[in-house]
Structure 1
Amino acid sequence: MLEIKNLTKKFGTKTVIDDLSMTVKDNEIMAIVGPSGAGKTTLLRCITGLEHVNSGEFFWNGTKFDPAETDQKNTIIGVVFQDYQLFPNLTVMGNITLAPTLVKKEPLSKVTTDARELLKRLGLEGKESLYPYQLSGGQKQRVAIVRALAMSPKILCYDEPTSALDPALRDEVAEIILSLKKQEMTQIVVTHDMDFAQNVADEIKRVEQID
């Protein structure tokens, strides 16, 4: 279970998140919704350690941790970025195996075997040697999800996973998120799409813009 207590984040003198507390239960999906500029993505960046917070505490199963300083060999939180951030010079397999081999020092043979299994689960079998420019938007997103899963995170976070997708692909993403829930993956989804949030989430956290 992830607990966030009294999180505050400022940029200069502007407070973006003010004394926010929330709990994400194991194996559940939390959707974070709110208007543009309310701090949804900033909150996600704080949770994933991409932004340092001004104050607040993070707990995983009762143990305090700092997402910005956690040893990446023991990944708690993985993230799927809105623009996917795949390396254009690497193949699908290269994108997936890079971090587990470099950061976690896992053998390439094991990482490759695990990656093939993940690709198969997400309907990407046979795409291993393709480069990002050869993939559709939906395929890039699934590769980004596989890349995050390859680090064996306890929680998987998504930043606006449906923002650039048509309705059919939006439904596909919902199916993937719900299938991962069946595999007991705890997930956090930042989205402006309330219908999508209601379709996938066990709980919805609404954030409001601070005047």
Structure 2
Amino acid sequence: MLEIKNLTKKFDNRTIIDNLSMTVNDNEIMAIVGPSGAGKTTLLRCITGLETVNQGQFFWNGQQFDPANTDQKDTIIGVVFQDYQLFPNLTVMGNITLAPTMVKKLPLDQVKASARHLLSRLGLEGKEDLYPFQLSGGQKQRVAIVRALAMNPKILCYDEPTSALDPALRDEVAEIILDLKKQQMTQIVVTHDMDFAQNVADEIKRVAQLS
């Protein structure tokens, strides 16, 4: 279970998130829904350690942790970015294996075996040697999900996972998220798409401004 207590985030004199507390239960999907400028992506960046917070504490199963601490032995939070952020000069396999081998120092053969299993699960078998420019938008999205899963996170976060996808691919992403839930992955989805949120989420947090 992820607990966030009294989170405040400011940019200069502007308060973006004001004393926010929330809980995400194990094996559940929380959708954070709201308009642009409400602070959804800022919250996600705080949870994933990409932004430092002015105030607040994070707990995983009762143990306090710092999302910004990259030296942690176990990866608690994984993230799938809105624009995927795949490295254009690396193949699919290269994108997936880079962080586990460099950050976690795992053996390359072990990481590749895990990556092939994940790629097969997400319908990307045979795409290992392709480069991002050779992939469709939906395929890039799935590679980004595999890359995040390769770090074996406890929680997987998504920033606007359907923003650049047509309706058919949006349904495909929903199926992937729900399938990961069946495999007991706790997930947080930041989206402006209420219909998508209602299709996948166990709990929806509607925000105008996060507080």
* TM bracket, shorter-chain basis: over 0.9
1:23-82 CA-to-partner distances (Å, cap 9, x unmatched) read: 000000000011110000000000000000000110000011111125254110000000
Partner residue, 2:203: 203
2:89 aligned with 1:93, yes or no? Answer: no
Aligned residue for 2:56, secondary structure, equals strand
Which runs of structure 1 show a deviation greater than 2 angstroms over 4 or more consecutive aligned residues? Answer: 70-73
Aligned residue for 1:74, secondary structure, equals coil
> Per-residue deviation at 1:118?
0.1
CA distance in 2, matches of 1:121, 1:48: 25
CA distance in 1, matches of 2:3, 2:209: 22
Partner residue, 2:154: 154
Aligned length: 210
Percent identical = 86
Aligned residue for 1:116, secondary structure, equals helix
Aligned residue for 1:89, secondary structure, equals coil
2:32 aligned with 1:32, yes or no? Answer: yes
Unaligned ranges ≥5, structure 2: none
1:127-180 CA-to-partner distances (Å, cap 9, x unmatched) read: 000000000000000000000000000000000000000000000000000000
Partner residue, 1:66: 66
Unaligned ranges ≥5, structure 1: none
The answer to whether the 8 A contact 1:72-1:104 is kept is no
Superposition TM-score, scaled by structure 2 size:
0.98
Aligned residue for 2:146, secondary structure, equals helix
CA distance in 1, matches of 2:61, 2:73: 18
Residue identity opposite 2:144 in structure 1? A
The answer to whether the 8 A contact 1:73-1:103 is kept is no
CA distance in 1, matches of 2:164, 2:72: 29
- Range 63-72 or range 119-128, more displaced: 63-72
Residue identity opposite 2:4 in structure 1? I
Superposition TM-score, scaled by structure 1 size:
0.98
CA RMSD of aligned residues (A): 0.9
> Per-residue deviation at 1:209?
2.8
Partner residue, 1:19: 19
Partner residue, 1:145: 145
Partner residue, 2:188: 188
> Per-residue deviation at 1:189?
0.2
Partner residue, 2:133: 133
Residue identity opposite 2:168 in structure 1? A
Aligned residue for 2:21, secondary structure, equals strand
CA distance in 2, matches of 1:121, 1:54: 39
